[in-house]
Structure 1
């Protein structure tokens, strides 16, 4: 499975915003420069997180993005779904019914395809794992120097 870079960017921005605190609104340009990513492209992903109520945005001189919920209320699955959409990672198109399968009896297809079942189970396990981890877990697992580096990066730009 391949996810867009927006998932990585979104998760890093959520982590950075968690480090900076509840009341801190950070402009797209500041977040983009902290990770050396294109601001316009990053903003697309940040807006998706706003639509999913993961981030809140405000306009104006002191505007920017902040977490819309506490870090322990934002799961990794929330972020992945906001960026990538809710669709399953595997989509069965029933190719077993085409080509050589055209001549098969309909009863052969009474049960779901074993491949679709296996892929569905794998997708469900992946989603359970992502749903079990939160931005707060990322905060706990990250090296303390990362938080301090982000605070130092943001402080001169906040003036």
Structure 2
């Protein structure tokens, strides 16, 4: 499975925004933090806004900020906002074209390959749903205690 690179960008942006509560940060500044293309990152930020993960503030002090507490934003929320809700594996029921196929059977439910892939998908989604932006930020802070302060300082020095 290959995720859109925008998922990674969106997750890092949300972690950074969690260290800037109440501050709206422009797409340009968020992109400059990691030297990303502003227009492409902005598309990801707009998707997060449509999903209710970010809010967009207009005006001279405008930009993006978290719309919810980081404890209430899961990694799955971000993946779904960027990549959509569809499962990574989609059973096309190729067994219907195989020898001894029964046209009345829903092979998405009876196929062992489909069952295994669905189980893996559920495990993957459960793990993402059980991890929040606050969890990630907390793990970063534990491993690299200076990161929140250095992130705030770097954003303070980035041009709008």
TM-score under structure 2 length normalisation:
0.91
How far residue 144 of structure 1 moved from its aligned partner, in angstroms, is 2.2
Query: For 1:29-70, what per-residue CA distance to the aligned partner results, in whole angstroms no more than 9, with x for missing partners?
Result: 000000110000000000000000000001111000000000
CA distance in 2, matches of 1:105, 1:8: 42
> Which residue is 1:129 aligned to?
127
Q: Which runs of 4+ in 1 moved over 3 A?
A: 107-111
> Which residue is 1:147 aligned to?
148
1:104 alignment partner, one of 84, 96, 100: 100
Provide the secondary structure at the position in 2 that maps to 1:89: coil
**Number of residue pairs aligned between Structure 1 and Structure 2:** 155
Provide the secondary structure at the position in 2 that maps to 1:144: coil
| Residue segments in structure 2 that go unaligned for 5+ positions in a row | none
| Residue segments in structure 1 that go unaligned for 5+ positions in a row | none
> Do 2:25 and 2:64's aligned partners in 1 also have CA atoms closer than 8 Å?
yes
Provide the secondary structure at the position in 2 that maps to 1:56: strand
> Do 2:13 and 2:30's aligned partners in 1 also have CA atoms closer than 8 Å?
yes
Query: For 1:6-33, what per-residue CA distance to the aligned partner results, in whole angstroms no more than 9, with x for missing partners?
Result: 1100000000000111x10000000000
Q: For the aligned residues, what is the CA RMSD?
A: 1.8
> Which residue is 2:53 aligned to?
54
> Which residue is 2:75 aligned to?
76
> Do 2:32 and 2:158's aligned partners in 1 also have CA atoms closer than 8 Å?
no
> Do 2:95 and 2:101's aligned partners in 1 also have CA atoms closer than 8 Å?
no
CA distance in 2, matches of 1:25, 1:108: 55
CA 105–75 in structure 1, closer or farther in 2 if over 3 Å, else same: closer
